[in-house]
Amino acid sequence: MKIDPIHQFNIEPLFTLGHIGNHTIAFTNSSLYMLVAVAIISILMLASGTQLVPGRLQSVAEISYEFVASTIRSTAGAEGMKFFPLIFSLFMFICVSNLVGIIPYTFTVSSHLIVTVGLALLVFFTVLIYGVAKNGLKFFSIFVPHGVPGYILPLVMFIEILSFFLRPVSHSIRLFANMLAGHIALKVFAGFVAMLGFSLGAIGWVGGVLPLALTIALYALEILVAFLQAYVFAILTCIYLNDAIHPGH
Amino acid sequence: MAESHGGAKGPAAGAHTEADGGHHGGGFPPFESSTFASQLVSLAIFFVLLYVIVSKLALPKVGGAIEARQNKIEGDLTEAQTLKDQSEAALKAYEGELASARTRAQAIGNESRDKANAQAEAERKALEEQLAAKLAEAEKTIASTRTTAMSNVRGIAADAAGQIVQQLTGVVPDVASVNAAVDASLKG
């Protein structure tokens, strides 16, 4: 009995879609779970009815809607509602794929850096392009904070520019690392229960109670993290978009 | 775990290469660049699909339902307010009506009481007069009866006196003198 906490992150091609240059484009298990997430969100949002007094499914759909809408309004103002579909898609996609990924034997889409980088770059370029298109060169005033003495300004501007371009890095790695670390920890502790039992017999099974309890506690924490990381990703997107909408602040 | 994996390519890897299975070379999966193109393409496809579904179908639908509910609630509240105003107006009108009815009832009561009093007074007076007349008549009758009775008494007394004298003396007395004697004793 070996603990292999990395196996769960393997990408398994299911069938090949085509080729771009040297790269083989395959429909992988990751693609399948992206499809699952899209399907769950679509069912939740579209099959939930529009009754005056909402049922359970409709309540969930409406709470998601109101939750994301109020997050945008409080961080990016009423103008931020232009990006409601984008932020809602991001939040729901990450949240649902995280929650699906926490079910044993499934695959977690956001545990792969390339996926979170893709989403973070989407946000980064949306902010950059919308900011320049809306405000022109004034957009770059976000690099020049108000009330900074002249002699220190070059240094502050350097830091501001650096942090702006590092945003997609932190934005993507935060989500990726959280999901990766959580799943590895879960796998290690859960595997520990079985390893103890198989190698030490009855004593091992009794001793396995401790790591089992830890696994259960971690599992609850991971459910929270799954939701929280989606929320963090969404709220950071709102904050970055706020820069593009109101570069003066 | 790190060593359990890091050794995948080493000579001592025999025990767990099967765990890694037929996997691409046994590197750390999230950093395997050969899978990046596939993942990016699927992400692009499915995220665009999700974005289209969300922006064209899901959000308008759910937002519409929420807005419809808001409108319905606001409409109901306005209606409730108008109904409340109406009922308050009705209550006020009712109270006014009640007050005027009460004053009217009081007036009518006073009037009918006065009328009844007057009537009763008149009847009482008529009755009293009638009674007084009857009383006077009765008194008159009594007086006449007494006079008659008194005159009868005088006759009887005269007769009795004559009889008594005759019995005592054996002489029939003179009627005139007996009458005079009776009169004199009646007056005495």
Helix A153-200 vs helix A209-245: crossing angle, to nearest 10: 160
Tell me the average pLDDT across B42-52: 94
Angstrom distance (rounded) from CA B31 to CA B42: 17
Please count the residues of chain B: 188
Asked if the structure places residue A160 within a domain, the reply is yes
Out of A22-36, B91-105, B153-167, pick the least confident: B153-167
Mean pLDDT, all residues of chain B? 83
State how far Cα A142 lies from the chain centre: 26
**Model pLDDT for residues A61-72, shown as the tens digit of each residue:** 999 999 999 999
Count of domains observed in chain A: 1
Interface contact B32-A11, CB threshold 8 A: yes
Asked if the structure places residue A1 within a domain, the reply is no
Asked if the structure places residue A149 within a domain, the reply is yes
**Positive or negative, the Cα torsion across B112, B114, B115, B119?**
positive
Q: How confident is the model at residue B26 (pLDDT cuts 50, 70, 90)?
A: low
For chain A positions 61-100, those within 8 Å of chain B (CB to CB) are 61-62, 65-66, 84-86, 88-89, 92-93
**Model pLDDT for residues A134-193, shown as the tens digit of each residue:** 888 888 888 888 888 888 888 988 999 999 999 999 999 999 999 999 999 999 888 888
User: Which among B5-19, B46-60, B153-167 has the top mean pLDDT?
Assistant: B46-60
Angstrom distance (rounded) from CA B29 to CA A112: 8
pLDDT at residue A92 in the model: 95
For chain A positions 157-186, those within 8 Å of chain B (CB to CB) are 176, 180, 184
Share of chain B above pLDDT 70, in %: 86
- Give the bridge partners for A20, in sequence order: A23
Interface contact A4-B16, CB threshold 8 A: yes
B22 touches chain A (CB under 8 A): no
The residue segments making up the domain with residue A114 are 7-245
Asked if the structure places residue A2 within a domain, the reply is no
Out of A151-160, B119-128, B152-161, pick the least confident: B152-161
Query: Quick one: which of A68, A64, A71 has its CA closest to A46?
Result: A64
* 8 A C-beta contact, residue B48 and residue A38: no
pTM of the model as a whole: 0.72
- Give the bridge partners for A15, in sequence order: A27
pLDDT at residue B188 in the model: 65
pLDDT at residue B18 in the model: 38
